[in-house]
Amino acid sequence: MRLFVVVALVMLLVGTYLLSEQMLVWDAALYVFVALLALWTVAARREVMLLRARAWLRGAEPPSVDAALRVSALALSALVALAARERPATDSFGWLLALWVLAVLLFVLTLVWPALRTRATCSPLSGVELWCLAALMVAALLVRGAAVGRIPANLGGDEGTQLAAALELVESPLGNPFATSWYSVPTMSFLAYGAAMRLFGATVVGGRMLSVLLGTASILSTFMLARTISGRFTGWAAAAILAFSPYHIHFSRLASNQIADPLVGTLALWLVWRAMAGEDTTDPRRQVRTRWASRGWRGVRGSDALWGLAGMVAGLGWYVYFGARWVTALIVLVVAWRALADRTLLQRHWRGLLLCGAGWAVVTLPLWGWYSTHPTALYERYSAVGVFASGWMDRERLLTGRSVASLMVQQVWRSVTAFHLTRDPTFWYRPNRPFVDFVTGAFVLLGLVSSLRRARWPSRALAHLWFWPTVVVAWVLTENPPSSQRGLLLLPPVALFSAWGIEAALELLSLPRRTHFAIAALLLGLVAVANGTFYFAVYSPSEVYGNPSAQAATRFAAYMQANPEPICEAGERAKCEGQVYFLGPPWLYWRFGSLAFLLRGYPGIDVAQGELPTGVGAPARFVVVPERSEQMTDIRSLWPGGVETELYAPDGRLLMWLYDWTGTD
């Protein structure tokens, strides 16, 4: 409409100019007539529209500012999705990332104040509790961050691959953070670890620090969730159990994004629980009075704001490990469960549920733009590890002669006994014991039984709704259960069950309630010391994490960094004059993840099995794995006068030979 008015005004000016100059008088008069008619029509139409708008405004509220901001956030996120989908991978994605961050902040801006105004569903923390919580968080940070560059001693191949990809992504020009990369992992998680290394340094310590912080934060979110749904005792017990869980500590010390799963799960479900605070979600014996918050800032009700924030947190889960994506499904399950229990829930919370979906969309739309052009990236990882999609079931039937039902029973048994009997079959953790200590495991079983007796209590039902479907999706339906990297989302409900088990034991002993906290604190303190001793004094020295390849690669990289000669002058990679000839394939490759990160910039090439390098010039370093030891004789004869070095594992096992040749006898 504005352009139409501009054209009419230009025609009017042209007509009056021609008339004033007595040029083309009849044409000029026609221009003036058409222009005035057009402007009169626009004015009349505008007046009618204003009258209609005033009449509508008398009976309706104007759109609020926060609604406009949320619509703008959705539009910006959609724009980023479209632009990122069409943008060449070689271009910088910095401005698109900035637009996405702006969209997220705009949406959050409309929710945070109403959310803060909502009344808590549990009693506020006392001064003593605040100090105790601070002490617990400091302790949790210390057991996760102390000596994180040396414990675990090995840098896993997957760790190194992710860190190398993170550094590559954050280099100028900034890569696409709304895509997928290695093993279909969203590149946004690489961006997060790359940004952390910009802050803490591009080292093993810097690469693992983000996991340290995420793991520590999940202790706080677990405390908030447990305390909100089941009271003070459960909150403290569950947080303490998780804080000193060796399983959780271990993954908090790895530069890998699985540790975000418990944080996303506990934070999202805490927000959902508080959003449903108008329902009778507390345990009958507690009788905590709750009410809905009054209509908040700019027309956003506090519970609706909490729904929106929950959707955003669940959306962020789509950018980390695949387990965090299941949190979105958990929210759907919780809503369906509560809707069946209370038929008025959808009617009372439909605005909040819409905000939840909108918040989830604002966060995830750019990723869906990528999936729209790369649809296989959405499901190919699960297809690779699923028992049916990967072909595992058919292979096992042929190899073992067992039926599908028998194999599925085996899958279920290995999955449900992960915390009491079955060992981790992977090298991600592999502690040679169940995922929890036997004391915690005993209370987990007691808590499971006692919570089944009280299954009608919403808090207990929530834990079971979280635990059992996740066991099925994470382990039963995937190969090689119980793989530790897929089970981290199960740790918060396990901590809840254990806390309820301790509480049930104290009640069965008929001990005075005033002594419950003291006895539980003593018990949990002893368990924490035992778990800390196991992780740092028993498990870590074994160097089992990462498999033997990671151990050999880490030891070799450390030697290369400490002894760069004769390849690189004084350890400066820019002054490398020689070449590393790596006789490792097919057991170990120069581009193995650990080496790719630790020795980035060092000159090295793989030498295929059964071959020797050609065109070797001095200086040179030959690296030979034990499986190819027979080739050391040829190397000594062809390039005589070199210096030999042997690298050993702590258990005395030979890891590698190094042969440095300077070209002089």
Compute the distance between CA of residue 590 and CA of residue 604 in angstroms, rounded to an integer.
7
Q: Residue 639's pLDDT is what?
A: 93
Q: Residue 615's pLDDT is what?
A: 87
How close are the terminal C-alpha atoms of the chain, in Å?
A: 88
Compute the distance between CA of residue 596 and CA of residue 566 in angstroms, rounded to an integer.
20
Kindly state the tokens that stand for 410.
């085996």
Q: Which burial class, exposed, middle or buried, applies to 126 when counting CB atoms under 10 A from its CB (0-12, 13-18, 19+)?
A: exposed
Compute the distance between CA of residue 164 and CA of residue 116 in angstroms, rounded to an integer.
39
pTM score of the predicted model = 0.86
Compute the distance between CA of residue 225 and CA of residue 215 in angstroms, rounded to an integer.
16
Mean pLDDT, consecutive 10-residue segments, the chain of 665 residues?
60 62 63 61 56 48 72 94 91 94 94 81 84 96 96 95 95 92 93 96 96 98 96 96 98 96 97 77 38 42 91 96 94 95 89 95 96 92 91 93 95 96 95 95 94 90 96 96 96 97 92 89 96 97 93 94 78 71 95 94 92 89 94 93 92 92 76
Q: Are 379 and 390 in contact (CB under 8 A)?
A: no
SS3 237: helix
Q: Residue 41's pLDDT is what?
A: 64
Compute the distance between CA of residue 377 and CA of residue 325 in angstroms, rounded to an integer.
14
Compute the distance between CA of residue 259 and CA of residue 261 in angstroms, rounded to an integer.
5
List the beta bridge partners of residue 620. 579, 661
Sheet containing strand 604-606, strands side by side = 604-606, 579-583, 620-624, 654-661, 643-648
Q: Are 308 and 352 in contact (CB under 8 A)?
A: yes
String of DSSP letters for 38-101: HHHHHHHHHHHHHHHHHHHHHHSPPPPHHHHHHHHHHHHHHHHHHHHHHS-TTS--HHHHHHHH
Q: Which whole-number Å values give the CA distances from 487 to 190, 269, 407, in the listed order?
A: 21, 18, 20
List the one residue out of 462, 428, 432 whose CA is nearest residue 268.
462
Q: Residue 282's pLDDT is what?
A: 38
> How many residues can be counted in the chain?
665
Q: Which burial class, exposed, middle or buried, applies to 132 when counting CB atoms under 10 A from its CB (0-12, 13-18, 19+)?
A: middle
Helix axes 345-373, 302-316, angle to 10 degrees: 30
The residue ranges of every structural domain in the chain are 2-59, 75-542, 547-661
Compute the distance between CA of residue 491 and CA of residue 241 in angstroms, rounded to an integer.
10
